[in-house]
Amino acid sequence: MSAYAECERIVQDGDPDRAVAVGFATKPAQKHLFALYAFHLETLRIRDVVSQSLPGEIRLQWWRDRLASEEPLEDAAQGSRIATALISTIREHALPLDAFERYLEARVFDLYNDPMPSRADFEAYAGETSSALIMMATMVLDRSAAPRLADACGHAGVGQTAISVLRSEAIHRNRHQVYVPTDILAATGIDASTWLAGGAGSERARDAMRAFAREHLDRVLHQWASIPVSVRPALLPALWVGKAPITAGAKPSALRRLWFYWRQMRS
């Protein structure tokens, strides 16, 4: 199996929302989107495969070293199919290495149990991870249009991450992680320990987090008519999470998702 085919398999299995959206991109761009999204999944799950934070940091450093390498592709990737596809994508599309460096630095937060301090910190975290991923996808899709989309990509990534936090609430609780900003928790009358325990007031915090996500996703929708069709596949998954069920374990209709994507590509 080729490096790009392996990335496609990983995304099809681990992120169907993005996998379906890739189908709306031009054929030449699709393999590069799968490379970006497979890298995202690979780094996102580091917390799940390490028992302590230090091995996680070592894995993140490995990625830093691979992406910064100026060696020939095979040597730079060190046998990793995801790295092979991603490095090839970065080099072919001249994607900014500093964006990947900031992405990997932001992922360090996932390895520890420090609570998310504030909305501003959450926006910064999401901006360096999900928003950056969306921005790099737009650069693959249409490099000339991408510079005008920083604001839309920023809001899309924050909204998407906020919904993802709610979808992953049980997983984070088992890890003793608090991604809901503490100032949002405080505004709803609870603290981090109460949130972790699922105590009284947690539903108010969920509602506040949904409103926070909606605030950002509405900013994307407000700009949608001016966003070129060529780059919309990068933004579709963020808009979809704002429409799909949030309840853990809920499985939204694949047909409904496809219809939503088709309609947004033509609106």
Q: What is the mean pLDDT of residues 83-92?
A: 98
Same domain? 17 vs 142? no
Q: What is the DSSP secondary-structure string of 176-193?
A: T---S-HHHHHHTT--HH
Number of domains in the chain: 2
Nearest residue to 166 (alpha-carbon basis) of 252, 251, 47, 246: 246
Q: What is the mean pLDDT of residues 44-66?
A: 94
Q: What's the alpha-carbon Rg for the chain, to the nearest Å?
A: 18
Same domain? 149 vs 255? yes
Same domain? 144 vs 45? no
In a domain, 103, yes or no: no
Amino acid 260: pLDDT: 96
Amino acid 199: pLDDT: 86
Amino acid 243: pLDDT: 84
Same domain? 137 vs 239? yes
The Cα 235–Cα 222 span in angstroms is 13
Task: Output the six-digit token pair for 46.
Answer: 């580091």
Task: Render pLDDT for 108-144 as a digit per residue (tens, 0 to 9).
Answer: 999 999 999 999 999 999 999 999 999 999 999 999 9
Same domain? 92 vs 211? no
Amino acid 93: pLDDT: 98
Same domain? 87 vs 58? yes
In a domain, 108, yes or no: no
Amino acid 247: pLDDT: 60
Amino acid 1: pLDDT: 62
13 and 20 in contact (C-beta within 8 Å)? Answer: no
41 and 14 in contact (C-beta within 8 Å)? Answer: yes
In a domain, 83, yes or no: yes
In a domain, 101, yes or no: no
Amino acid 249: pLDDT: 54
The backbone region for 79, taken as left when phi is positive above 0, alpha when psi lies in -120 to 50, beta otherwise, is left
The Cα 27–Cα 16 span in angstroms is 18
End position of a domain, from candidates 96, 122, 144: 96
Q: What single DSSP character describes residue 115?
A: P
The Cα 109–Cα 105 span in angstroms is 8
The Cα 46–Cα 111 span in angstroms is 8
The Cα 72–Cα 70 span in angstroms is 7
End position of a domain, from candidates 96, 127, 152: 96
The Cα 43–Cα 37 span in angstroms is 10
Of the pLDDT bands very low, low, confident and very high (cuts 50, 70, 90), residue 51 is confident
Same domain? 86 vs 126? no
Same domain? 147 vs 243? yes
Q: What is the mean pLDDT of residues 148-172?
A: 96
Q: What is the mean pLDDT of residues 7-11?
A: 98
Of the pLDDT bands very low, low, confident and very high (cuts 50, 70, 90), residue 64 is very high
- Number of other residues whose CB lies within 10 A of the CB of residue 198: 12
The Cα 172–Cα 177 span in angstroms is 5
What CATH number did the domain enclosing 123 receive? Answer: 1.10.600.10
In a domain, 102, yes or no: no
142 and 231 in contact (C-beta within 8 Å)? Answer: yes
Same domain? 134 vs 257? yes
In a domain, 107, yes or no: no
228 and 142 in contact (C-beta within 8 Å)? Answer: yes
In a domain, 214, yes or no: yes
Task: Output the six-digit token pair for 143.
Answer: 């490099």
Same domain? 119 vs 54? no
Q: What is the mean pLDDT of residues 219-231?
A: 97
The average confidence (pLDDT) of the chain is 95
Q: For the chain, where are the E strands, in sequence order? A: none
Q: Residue 248 pLDDT more than 90?
A: no
Same domain? 7 vs 74? yes
Q: Which residues contact 138 (CB under 8 A, 6 or more apart)?
A: 145, 146, 149, 153, 231, 234, 235
Better-predicted residue by pLDDT, 169 or 251: 169
In a domain, 104, yes or no: no
Same domain? 139 vs 58? no
Domain encompassing residue 228: 113-266
End position of a domain, from candidates 96, 123, 142: 96
